Structure 1
Amino acid sequence: MKLHALALGLTLGILWGGAILLTGLANLIWPGYGMAFLEVVASIYPGFAPGGGVGTVLLGSVYGLADGVIGGVIVAWLYNVLSRKFTGAGE
């Protein structure tokens, strides 16, 4: 079975960016919510700050979307390469 790299990338990007978006918005409504998660995200993505407002939440979500797409494409590509190597299939 061959994975479609862009489809997996978009799926992971939407999920990861969406997780950051929903947690960030919930944190704006209920301060303190998801703070540990958001602090980890802030340590990775420059310009993102927990509780910094809607703009930083959107910035973090865009970072998450891009990060998920890139990571998903790499995972799918690596899976396809290793799958061909170990099964001998030339799909």
Structure 2
Amino acid sequence: MKLSLKGMAVSLALVWGVLAMFLTGLANLIWPGYGQAFLELMASVYPGYHATASIGQVVIGALYGLVDGCVCGAIFAWLYNRFASV
């Protein structure tokens, strides 16, 4: 059985971009300090993203998460399909 490359890329992009980055950043705006360690870790990984409580940084983090999740999902599906046929 093969994985859909596009399906895996889109689903992981949504999980990482929306659930992880956007909702954590949004929760940090509502409840200051929420997820601060996670956001600071992501700020050290993604250039241009800062773990400050502003809607602009939430959007930038979500965009980084969407792109990162899409690329990682595509790579994972490609590797799975490559090794599953061996």
Q: TM range, normalised to the smaller chain?
A: over 0.9
Question: Following TM superposition, by how much is the alpha carbon of 1:28 offset from its aligned partner in structure 2, in angstroms?
Answer: 1.0
Aligned residues: CA RMSD: 0.8
Alpha carbons 1:27, 1:50 under 8 Å: kept:
no
Question: Following TM superposition, by how much is the alpha carbon of 1:15 offset from its aligned partner in structure 2, in angstroms?
Answer: 0.5
Q: Would you say how many aligned residue pairs link Structure 1 and Structure 2?
A: 85
Question: Following TM superposition, by how much is the alpha carbon of 1:46 offset from its aligned partner in structure 2, in angstroms?
Answer: 1.2
TM-score scaled by length of structure 2: 0.95
Question: Following TM superposition, by how much is the alpha carbon of 1:49 offset from its aligned partner in structure 2, in angstroms?
Answer: 1.3
Question: Following TM superposition, by how much is the alpha carbon of 1:50 offset from its aligned partner in structure 2, in angstroms?
Answer: 1.6
Q: Give distance in 1, aligned partners of 2:53 and 2:35.
A: 14
Q: Give distance in 2, aligned partners of 1:55 and 1:25.
A: 11
TM-score scaled by length of structure 1: 0.90
Alpha carbons 2:32, 2:53 under 8 Å: kept:
no
Question: Following TM superposition, by how much is the alpha carbon of 1:51 offset from its aligned partner in structure 2, in angstroms?
Answer: 2.3
Structure 1 gaps of 5+ residues are 86-91
Partner of 1:9: 9
Alpha carbons 1:20, 1:64 under 8 Å: kept:
yes
What is the percent sequence identity of the aligned residues?
Answer: 52
Structure number, greater radius of gyration: 1
Alpha carbons 1:31, 1:51 under 8 Å: kept:
no
